[in-house]
């Protein structure tokens, strides 16, 4: 099972690329054939072959007529005695006719090929072909750009899923092994119950220990039944985690709108801008970031807008709402403009359940604890 939700779309993109590349190759091959074909030479070969077939047909008719003429002269005493000299001559003519017929058949095949090639050449639209090649090249470059970007997204998800997928594969292997041991132990246990004497039992115990490492099948049955139940529980949990993680990682986030005031607190303690500065440095290399502050941030930091903005790198967008205003509605309105805009905030936004970003659950939670920033949905774990 593949836990990357982008796998199917990725396969479709690869298929689209292959289709375009195959058609482009075909169109280029057609153009190369056209430009490399000498139509005058092709027509000459056609005419020469046509004349050759015509000459052969006349020769065939002549030989058949000669053979029929000899047929009338061949009888000495009809219908008992036939002239052997004439019979020999007729046989020679028969072989010549067969040879000519083979040459005509072969020539007719060549003639048909020449006809098709001439038709192919004369019906070929060079201008349309060149335009199609140009169009396909543009389409291919566009698709390759989309593919490269999508491939990087898919690979990032695959890499983040890899440890969990590896764990799942190990558990599946352990489960298969435990089920095999259980089956063999059950077979040994059945043999023990059906054995007639102590010698047979001793041999079965010995065989069980040799193959499974324990001479007591009932112990192996108990141990592996317990192991199988545990592995199945763990596998179910791990697969659910992988599906959930894949779904979270596959969100196509174009912009993150950060609730700035949220990130200035560790628990109930105001810690200033340090967590935000660390987070924006981490995020800005990967995604477009906008930080929105409540107007109260000015008083909390005892700074004006310019002083606050100067704490961040120039490429980070900072917005501080008007005096006495809260940032919640501004954040949600911006996020609701685009289905690929997400909000990082721990607010529940209970008063704004009508906002699109809230209805579509595009709110990402975070934790700040012991100078660490944890955003599980983005696989972020950094210190500040």
> Is residue 68 very low, low, confident or very high in pLDDT (cuts 50, 70, 90)?
confident
The pLDDT value recorded for residue 334 is: 95
Alpha-carbon span 226 to 52, nearest angstrom: 88
- Is 76 a residue whose pLDDT tops 70? no
Residue 285: phi and psi, rounded to 5, are -75, -15
Give pLDDT, residue 378: 85
What is the model's pLDDT at position 168? 97
- Average pLDDT in the chain: 92
pLDDT at 216: 95
Q: Say if residue 186 is in the same domain as residue 298.
A: no
Assigned domain for 144 exists: no
Q: Which residues contact 375 (CB under 8 A, 6 or more apart)?
A: 279, 344, 364, 365, 366, 367
> Span 138-147, mean pLDDT?
95
Both 368 and 267 in one domain: the answer is yes
153 found inside a domain: no
- 241 and 299 both lie in a single domain: no
Decide if 147 is inside a domain.
Answer: no
Same domain? For 283 and 193 the reply is no
Q: pLDDT band at residue 90, thresholds of 50, 70 and 90? A: confident
User: Do 83 and 51 share a domain, yes or no?
Assistant: yes
Portion of the chain with pLDDT greater than 90, in percent = 80
Does the residue 142 lie in any domain? no
Same-domain check for residues 378 and 259: yes
Same domain assignment for residues 13 and 114: yes
Contact 206, 269 (CB under 8 A): no
For 135, the 3-state DSSP assignment is: helix
Higher pLDDT, 156 or 343: 343
Query: Confidence band (pLDDT; 50, 70, 90) for 248?
Result: confident
In angstroms, the CA 114 to CA 352 distance is 76
Residue 155: inside a domain: no
pLDDT for 369 equals 94
pLDDT band at residue 80, thresholds of 50, 70 and 90? low
CATH number of residue 336's parent domain:
3.40.50
Q: Are residues 259 and 314 in the same domain?
A: yes
* pLDDT, average across residues 356-378: 92
User: What gap in Å lies between CA 179 and CA 290, rounded to an integer?
Assistant: 53
| 89 in the same domain as 127 | yes
Is pLDDT above 90 for 85? no
Give me the number of domains the chain comprises: 3
Same domain, 233 and 203: yes
Segments forming the whole domain that contains residue 261 = 255-383
**Considering just the CA atoms, what is the radius of gyration of the chain in Å?**
42
Convert the pLDDT of each residue in 176-209 to its tens digit: 999 999 999 999 999 999 998 999 999 999 999 9
The answer, yes or no, to whether residue 342 has pLDDT greater than 70, is: yes
Domain final position from 95, 116, 132 = 132
| Phi, psi (deg, nearest 5) at residue 304 | -90, 180
Same domain assignment for residues 176 and 216: yes
pTM for this entry: 0.65
List the one residue out of 154, 155, 170 whose CA is nearest residue 238.
170
Domain end, chosen from 201, 224, 249, is at: 249
Higher per-residue confidence, 379 vs 356: 356
Q: Residue 280 falls within a domain, yes or no?
A: yes
Q: Is residue 48 part of a domain?
A: yes
Are the C-beta atoms of residues 144 and 17 closer than 8 Å to each other? yes
Same-domain pairing of 198 and 220: yes
Boundary residue ending a domain (231, 249, 267): 249
Evaluate whether residue 173 is within a structural domain.
Answer: yes
């Amino acid at each position: 099972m593949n836990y990357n939700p982008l796998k199917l779309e990725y396969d479709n993109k690869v298929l689209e690329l292959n289709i375009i590349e195959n058609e482009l190759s075909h169109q280029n091959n057609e153009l190369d054939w056209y430009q490399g074909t000498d139509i005058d030479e092709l027509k000459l070969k056609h005419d020469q072959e046509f004349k050759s077939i015509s000459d052969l047909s006349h020769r065939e008719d002549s030989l058949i007529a000669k053979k029929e003429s000899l047929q009338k002269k061949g009888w000495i005493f009809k219908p008992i005695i036939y002239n052997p000299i004439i019979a020999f001559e007729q046989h020679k003519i028969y072989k010549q006719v067969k040879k000519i017929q083979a040459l005509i058949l072969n020539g007719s095949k060549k003639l048909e090929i020449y006809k098709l090639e001439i038709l192919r050449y004369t019906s070929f639209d060079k201008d349309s072909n060149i335009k199609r090649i140009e169009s396909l090249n543009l389409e291919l470059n566009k698709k390759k750009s989309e593919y490269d970007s999508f491939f990087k997204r898919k690979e990032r998800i695959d890499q983040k899923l890899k440890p969990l997928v590896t764990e799942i594969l190990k558990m599946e292997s352990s489960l298969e092994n435990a089920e095999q041991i259980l089956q063999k132990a059950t077979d040994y246990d059945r043999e023990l119950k059906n054995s007639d004497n102590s010698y047979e039992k001793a041999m079965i115990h010995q065989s069980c220990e040799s193959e499974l490492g324990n001479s007591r099948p009932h112990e192996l049955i108990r141990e592996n039944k317990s192991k199988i139940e545990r592995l199945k529980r763990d596998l179910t949990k791990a697969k659910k985690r992988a599906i959930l993680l894949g779904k979270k990682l596959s969100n196509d986030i174009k912009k993150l709108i950060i609730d700035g005031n949220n990130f200035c607190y560790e628990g109930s303690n105001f810690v200033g801008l340090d967590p935000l500065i660390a987070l924006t440095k981490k995020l800005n290399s990967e995604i477009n970031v906008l930080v929105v502050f409540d107007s109260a941030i000015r008083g909390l930091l005892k700074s004006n807008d310019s002083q606050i903005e100067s704490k961040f790198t120039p490429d980070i967008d900072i917005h501080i709402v008007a005096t006495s205003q809260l940032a919640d509605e501004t954040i949600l309105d911006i996020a609701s403009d685009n289905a690929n805009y997400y909000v990082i905030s721990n607010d529940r936004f209970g008063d704004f359940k009508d906002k699109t970003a809230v209805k579509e659950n595009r709110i990402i939670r975070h934790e700040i604890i012991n100078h660490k920033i944890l955003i599980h949905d983005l696989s972020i774990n950094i210190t500040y």
